[in-house]
Amino acid sequence: MQAPDVEFTAPDEQYCQRTEKLFYDMPFVKFLDLKIAGMGPGWLDCQVINRPELQQQNGFLHAGVIATLADMSAGISAATLIDKDHSALSAEFKIVLLRPGLGERFIARGRTIKRGRKLSVAESWIYGVTGDKEKLIARGYLTLAVI
């Protein structure tokens, strides 16, 4: 999934290492056991394996985990584009839950739509994956403050 007509250049050659460190140093990422599945300038895919402690009462992936996947993939996609002495924080967030979270694992594909000096905008598509079949379960929309 790629944002239409948007192509970005990395701010420096070390952006992958800085982005991975940012992602994996977050205690909540460690707690959920999220993993980066792919990354480039202006995009990041992350995933989580389905397990009982991430489910709600009906056995679906909890909406809070879905929202976290949207926030992390979209937010970190914008972080791939910021200078090393800056940071990005979610300023506005919207999640649209399209269907129940079913799957062996879940992948979120975050894409930066607009890179700004003070605000960036990004989207996320969250899929439930079983075998090699993906089903879209949610969409996320984020505005990020660059500080």
Query: What average pLDDT values come out for the chain (147 residues) when binned by 10 residues?
Result: 70 92 96 97 97 97 98 96 90 97 98 94 98 98 95
Place of tokens 């402690």: 53
pLDDT at 7: 83
Place of tokens 């480039």: 40
Q: 7 - beta bridge partners?
A: none
Candidates 115, 34, 31, 33; CA nearest to 79 is 115
**Start-to-end C-alpha separation, the chain:** 28
Tokens found for residue 1: 């999934």
DSSP state of 128: E
Spatial distance between the Cα atoms of 44 and 74, rounded to a whole number of angstroms: 7
pLDDT at 104: 98
Classify domain 15-146 at the CATH superfamily level: Hotdog Thioesterase (3.10.129.10)
Q: Are 38 and 31 in contact (CB under 8 A)?
A: no
Candidates 60, 109, 55, 115; CA nearest to 83 is 115
